[in-house]
Amino acid sequence: MKTVTNGNNVTLHYKGTFSDGKVFDDSRARGSTMSITVGQGRLIKGFETALIGMTEGQTKNINLNSEQAYGPVRPEAIVTAPKSAFPEDFMFEEGMQVTGRTAEGGMSYATIVSFSDTEVTLDHNHPLAGKDINFEIELVKIDNDDSSSNE
């Protein structure tokens, strides 16, 4: 029986919930599985670690504290910007997710915390930072690197 090791390409379904059971993400609800190569660091650490040793068809429930998930809220990631940095006709709304460009030309993601006539407070933390979360993971398929060329 195949078990997941680093370097395996895996296909899985997952459902992410908060401690109160509220769902924040569900691959089945979207109608698509997720495929990932284990060990590349593209998943949150606690999720990726949970995949190691799983077998095809297995379902596992994990509970991650904020450190194992998206990390703590970083106060320095909450900044104030002038409203003039936004388009003139921009409709500000608390809780709205916005994107912009960094000084280096990269993408910046933030949530509008509050705004006044002249300023906007933006939270650049991940929306799930500081939160303990749970996942139900169903491992659908394991493709070993050395056998992926046989598809």
Q: What residues does each domain of the chain span? A: 9-70+129-150, 75-123
CATH topology of domain 9-70+129-150: Chitinase A; domain 3 (3.10.50)
Structure tokens, 61: 């429930």
pLDDT digits (tens, 9 = 90+) for 75-98: 999 999 999 999 999 999 999 999
147 or 133, greater pLDDT: 133
- Residue 103: what pLDDT? 80
Confidence tier at 72 by pLDDT (50, 70, 90): very high
Helix, strand, or coil here: 51? helix
User: 75-123: which CATH topology?
Assistant: Thrombin, subunit H (2.40.10)
Q: Which two tokens stand for residue 29?
A: 């609800």
Confidence tier at 148 by pLDDT (50, 70, 90) = very low
Q: Are 9-70+129-150 and 75-123 in the same CATH fold?
A: no
**CB of 6 within 8 A of CB of 36?**
no
pLDDT tens readout for residues 28-53:
999 999 999 999 999 999 999 999 99
Give 3-state DSSP helix, strand, coil % of the chain, rounded to 5. Answer: 15, 40, 45
β-pair type (59-64, 133-143):
antiparallel
pLDDT tens digits, one per residue of 94-130: 999 999 888 888 898 999 999 999 999 999 999 999 9
The 3-state DSSP class for residue 85 equals helix
